[in-house]
Amino acid sequence: MKHVLIIGAGGVGHVVAHKCAMVPETFGTITLASRTVSKCEAIATSVKERTGRDIATRQIDADNVAETTALLEELKPDLLLNVALPYQDLPLMDACLAAGVDYLDTANYEPPHEAKFEYSHQWAYQDRFVEKDLSALLGSGFDPGVTGVFTAYALKHHFSEIHTLDIVDVNGGDHGHAFATNFNPEINIREVTAPCRHWENGEFVETPAMSEHQSFTCPEEVGTYEIYRMYHEELESIAKHIPTIKRAQFWMSFSPNYLKHLEVLQNVGMTRIDPVTYNGQEIIPLQFLKAVLPNPGDLGERTKGRTCIGNIMTGLDKEGKETALYIYNICDHEECFAEVGSQAISYTTGVPAMIGAKQMLSGEWRKPGVWNIEQHDPDAFMADLNEHGLPWTMKVLSMEQAKALTPA
């Protein structure tokens, strides 16, 4: 039985802790550490109530490499599961290297004052992880995460070559607030206000944020939503690792109300990530905005509706004929809340983080080096999605159906 150290006690950390506790045969010991230990303790109480299991809690500043290294040396976990913020990725990878512990995260490293969303910083750790015989899994959430596994699964079982990939992320949930984000507001707003980039014929093409959009009808009566093309980090790794892809795009649904608020916040400067001086003190406007917005971890109780996230892919099948495939998951906010006390965005991130950790701890995905999820064999992960709360559906489409879904 293995010991996992989870870092980060926000919306996603809440789900990961519960889901790991529900798989005792893999996660024999669980420690949850974060900046604010009271949040870890609240999660531990909920885990005990829901699963009967005890998890240990610790306070940690994950930006401090020496502090994290000392904690790792004391606890000797088999894996560090990072669900703090993207700013902590590199310090936590450094601590893992120093203490000899495997690493997993759900979002790529972000420098605090730049919105870059690129893997270069973490890919640069490849040789150091190999030299220490350690393994790192990058991006084991839903997107990135499950979207990469769906792509790898489609390539393994259906396609000989994938030519186009459209990832469509629809959140049909309603939380009743005038404006709130579904996960950490700072990261979410950075992502949606960044210029759009999509992969086309061997390079990224940049277009203004939110300039391309279309109507999308989800399967299983989830509804029809306006989806907007935006950059998302898995486009970089999937385009690199599956080089037959000629065009890769990411689409996300936003309500007119969300976009109206975002436009105003942007116009007045509240989404800036450079420091400004206020009353003699330096503040980052976006961090201040986070402090006044609803906490995404608290949205679960009031969110109704479903998410629908999946990949629409076209290419050649194993016989060389044109083919198209749609693989998706539909997740119900209220069912997630009933199971673990969280809304579906935290749930759809936390479950794949647990499953990725399970593959690493079983040894199946434990290769020395730094890996993106689509580089691993997808089969066991896909089976675990069905078993642990994120069942998926795969539909073979005609080329006409695929084009109708993604006309841009």
Nearest CB to ligand NDP, comparing residues 21 and 167: 167
Q: Which residue is nearest to ligand NDP (CB)?
A: 10
Q: For residue 336, which phi and psi values (nearest 5 degrees)?
A: -60, -45
Nearest CB to ligand NDP, comparing residues 297 and 310: 297
Structure tokens at 398: 């005609």
**DSSP line for 341-364:** S--HHHHHHHHHHHHHHHHHHHTT
Assess contact for 272 and 112: CB atoms under 8 A. Answer: no
Among 3, 50, 61, 163, binds ligand NDP (CB under 6 A): 61
Distance CA 406, CA 194 (A): 22
Contacts to ligand NDP from residues 230-259, by CB under 6 A: none
| Farthest-apart Cα atoms in the chain, separation | 68
Least distance to ligand NDP, CB of residue 358, Å? 17
Distance CA 209, CA 270 (A): 17
Least distance to ligand NDP, CB of residue 398, Å? 30
Structure tokens at 299: 């949205």
Contact between 11 and ligand NDP per CB under 6 A: yes
Among 106, 193, 329, 343, binds ligand NDP (CB under 6 A): 106
Q: For residue 369, which phi and psi values (nearest 5 degrees)?
A: 125, -175
Nearest CB to ligand NDP, comparing residues 190 and 229: 190
Contact between 187 and ligand NDP per CB under 6 A: yes
Nearest CB to ligand NDP, comparing residues 101 and 402: 101
**DSSP line for 118-146:** -SHHHHTTHHHHHHTT-EEEE--BTTTBH
Residues 193-206 as b/e (b if ≥16 CB within 10 A, e otherwise) read bbebbbbeeeeeee
Among 13, 172, 173, 341, binds ligand NDP (CB under 6 A): 13
> Which bin fits 282, alpha (ψ -120 to 50), beta or left (φ > 0)?
beta
Give the H or E element holding residue 36.
none
With contacts defined by CB under 6 A, name the span among 116-124, 155-163, 170-178, 179-187 that binds ligand NDP: 179-187
Number of residues located near ligand NDP, criterion CB under 6 A: 32
Distance CA 307, CA 334 (A): 11
- Bond from prior residue into 296 cis (ω within 30 degrees of 0): no
Least distance to ligand NDP, CB of residue 296, Å? 5
Distance CA 52, CA 251 (A): 40
Alpha helix (H) ranges present in 164-255? 185-193, 234-241
Least distance to ligand NDP, CB of residue 382, Å? 17
With contacts defined by CB under 6 A, name the span among 29-37, 120-128, 241-249, 315-323 that binds ligand NDP: 29-37
Nearest CB to ligand NDP, comparing residues 164 and 342: 342
Nearest CB to ligand NDP, comparing residues 107 and 155: 107
Least distance to ligand NDP, CB of residue 297, Å? 5
Contacts to ligand NDP from residues 109-168, by CB under 6 A: 141-145
* Binding mask of the shown chain, residues 290 to 309, with x at each position contacting ligand NDP by CB under 6 A: ------xx------------
Contacts to ligand NDP from residues 35-54, by CB under 6 A: 35-36, 39
Where on the chain is the footprint of ligand NDP (CB under 6 A)? Answer: 8-13, 34-36, 39, 60-63, 83-86, 88, 106-107, 141-145, 183-184, 187, 296-297, 349
